[in-house]
């Protein structure tokens, strides 16, 4: 087996949550509550995934939940969403009513229009329009029971939401930097905002409201999208018309993901502008974003930054043994200056600024070229809030950091085995192929184990060896100082289809 052996006792787990499913329809998963999972959960025989395993290891020292949004995120919203010790059932995740007092008009609806090649540097690509939101009785969030789990490790946040009844899974990793405010904001609002737009779409379709042109399609081209209801997305449909328009519908789902992210960005920067007099550091706070949404055979991904989703699939066209036939396919783009395409795009967008990339970083500050937040590299007035050396000199043509996500949908097929969703800290030590081989080797030999936890443990061993430490010595290094040896690491492993597995998910603090 690849990798070194580790036992659960070698690493103290401060917080853990998990989800395990039973192979046979109608038999409870989590029987006996072995891993702190609510017993009695059921997944149907035609589920799109069989189990979820996740782990996160902190390296950065960070403050607890901050006071952004007048403290509402930390005090009222995240406690209702976080469940660090187990998945828990909730009848509704709606927190928009709580936020509305603070956000006021910023939670209004967006109408996204196609972007021209020459946009105003200070103009949002999406314009807020007054429109009444769907009524609470129409809300998908009020109508469906879901299970939630989540937690924080350093500046990272991990979140998982599952609907057994409607057979979908939402997973997100928010890799924060310069503080955890942006990651906390995303954890407190993005899932809700995505569901809000599904509900809005459902409401619009019932009223026969004309479609808004879609801004970014699967291949990056412009395309018109047919309306489809949120109810139709979240509930399997046998309607032949829905099947016939499935391609257009997938585009609509991606459109909703993008619109929700843009809304969250606008809301966050609005909060930053309101609060930066007391906390000027907020203008530099940001986060990478990686969202996966699995429904049926469709795996949707949205990403900003350098987190990755990697698919493990088998090549059925040869006679090699199973491990040799396993391939790693990256489903997301890497938005860093090391990516030649990203570097070229950045330089082309700022032809009058010869210093747009300095010392391998955007304006000498960030390696990522796309991110959530980080307002001082997007708006001059936010950069002016910083003092001295913290301020970026010659901010000639902002924004320098893009909030345009990469969007993708993968149609799951029989050879597809599992997906690794990870922050960049994982890929500092393992390339895609190494990570896939480690997970495959582990789940082949340990069917009831935790592959994400195993992967993180292998990273710790590798980081310790590189630093000349034992694993125990490295883990005893306090958070903050440990950042010298590895970054915050968050990993989720999703076993696809009916590949029966039982596992748990863990967060190391």
Q: 267 with 186: CB under 8 angstroms?
A: no
Better-scored residue on pLDDT, 350 or 388: 350
Q: 340 with 440: CB under 8 angstroms?
A: no
Residue 496's contacts (CB-CB under 8 Å, 6 or more residues apart) are 48, 49, 50, 412, 416, 417, 418, 419
Q: Is 189 helix (H, G, I), strand (E, B) or coil?
A: helix
- The C-alpha torsion from 368 through 54 and 435 to 405, rounded to 10°, is -30
Instruction: For 488-505, give the DSSP string.
Output: -EEEEEEEETT------E
Which one, of 457, 470, 464, lies nearest residue 484 by Cα?
Answer: 464
pLDDT tens by residue, 245-270: 778 889 999 999 999 999 999 999 99
Neighbours of 221 (CB within 10 A): 8
Better-scored residue on pLDDT, 80 or 154: 154
Which one, of 186, 407, 181, lies nearest residue 293 by Cα?
Answer: 407
Residue 86's contacts (CB-CB under 8 Å, 6 or more residues apart) are 17, 18, 35, 36, 37, 38, 149
By residue count, the chain amounts to 509
Average pLDDT over the chain, rounded to whole?
Answer: 76
The C-alpha R_g of the chain, in whole angstroms, comes to: 22
Average pLDDT over every residue of 232-236: 50
- Which segment, 1-5, 14-18, 391-395, is predicted with the most confidence on average? 391-395
Which element (helix H / strand E) includes 163? Answer: strand 156-163
Helix 181-206 to helix 96-103 angle (10° resolution) is: 110
Share of the chain above pLDDT 90, in %: 46
Q: 157 with 183: CB under 8 angstroms?
A: yes
């Amino acid at each position: 087996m690849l990798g070194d052996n580790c036992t659960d006792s070698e690493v103290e787990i401060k917080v853990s949550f998990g989800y395990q499913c039973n192979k046979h329809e109608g038999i409870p998963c989590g029987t006996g509550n072995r891993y702190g999972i609510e017993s009695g959960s059921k997944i149907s025989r035609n589920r799109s995934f069989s189990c979820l395993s996740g782990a996160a290891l902190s390296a950065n020292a960070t403050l607890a939940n901050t006071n952004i949004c007048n403290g509402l995120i930390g005090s009222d919203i995240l406690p209702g969403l976080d469940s660090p010790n187990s998945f828990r059932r909730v009848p509704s995740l709606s927190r928009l009513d709580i936020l509305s007092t603070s956000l006021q008009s910023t939670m209004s609806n967006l109408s996204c229009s196609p972007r021209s090649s020459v946009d105003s540097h200070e103009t949002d690509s999406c314009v807020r329009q007054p429109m009444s939101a769907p009524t609470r009785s129409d809300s998908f969030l009020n109508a469906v029971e879901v299970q939630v789990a989540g937690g924080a490790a350093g500046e990272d946040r991990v979140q998982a939401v599952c609907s057994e009844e409607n057979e979908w899974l939402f997973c997100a990793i928010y890799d924060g930097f310069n503080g955890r405010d942006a990651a906390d904001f995303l954890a407190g609002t993005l899932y809700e905002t995505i569901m809000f737009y599904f509900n809005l779409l459902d409401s619009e379709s019932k009223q026969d409201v004309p479609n808004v042109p879609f801004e970014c399609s699967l291949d990056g081209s412009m395309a018109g999208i047919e309306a489809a209801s949120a109810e139709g997305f979240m509930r399997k449909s046998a309607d032949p018309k829905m099947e016939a328009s499935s391609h257009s519908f997938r585009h609509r789902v991606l459109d909703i993901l993008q619109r929700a992210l843009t809304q969250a960005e606008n809301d966050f920067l609005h909060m930053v502008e309101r609060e930066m007099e007391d906390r000027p550091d907020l203008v530099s706070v940001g986060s990478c974003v990686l969202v996966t949404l699995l429904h049926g055979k469709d795996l949707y991904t949205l990403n900003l930054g350098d987190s990755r989703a990697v698919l493990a699939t088998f090549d059925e066209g040869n006679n090699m043994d199973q491990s040799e036939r396993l391939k790693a396919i990256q489903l997301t783009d890497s938005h860093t200056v090391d990516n030649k395409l990203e570097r070229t795009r950045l330089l082309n967008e700022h032809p009058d600024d010869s210093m747009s990339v300095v010392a391998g970083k955007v304006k000498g500050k960030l390696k990522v070229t796309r991110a959530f937040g980080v307002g001082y590299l997007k708006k001059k007035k936010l950069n002016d809030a910083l003092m001295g050396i913290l301020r970026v000199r010659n901010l000639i043509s902002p924004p320098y950091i893009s909030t345009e996500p990469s969007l993708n949908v993968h149609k799951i097929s029989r050879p597809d085995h599992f997906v690794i969703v990870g922050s960049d800290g994982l890929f500092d030590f393992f390339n895609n192929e190494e990570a896939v081989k480690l997970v495959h080797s582990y789940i082949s030999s340990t069917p009831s184990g935790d592959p994400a936890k195993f992967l993180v443990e292998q990273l710790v061993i590798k980081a310790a060896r590189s630093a000349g430490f034992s694993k125990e010595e490295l883990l005893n290094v306090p958070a903050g100082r440990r950042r010298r040896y590895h970054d915050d690491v968050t990993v989720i492993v999703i076993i696809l289809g009916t590949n029966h597995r039982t596992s748990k998910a863990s967060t190391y603090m």
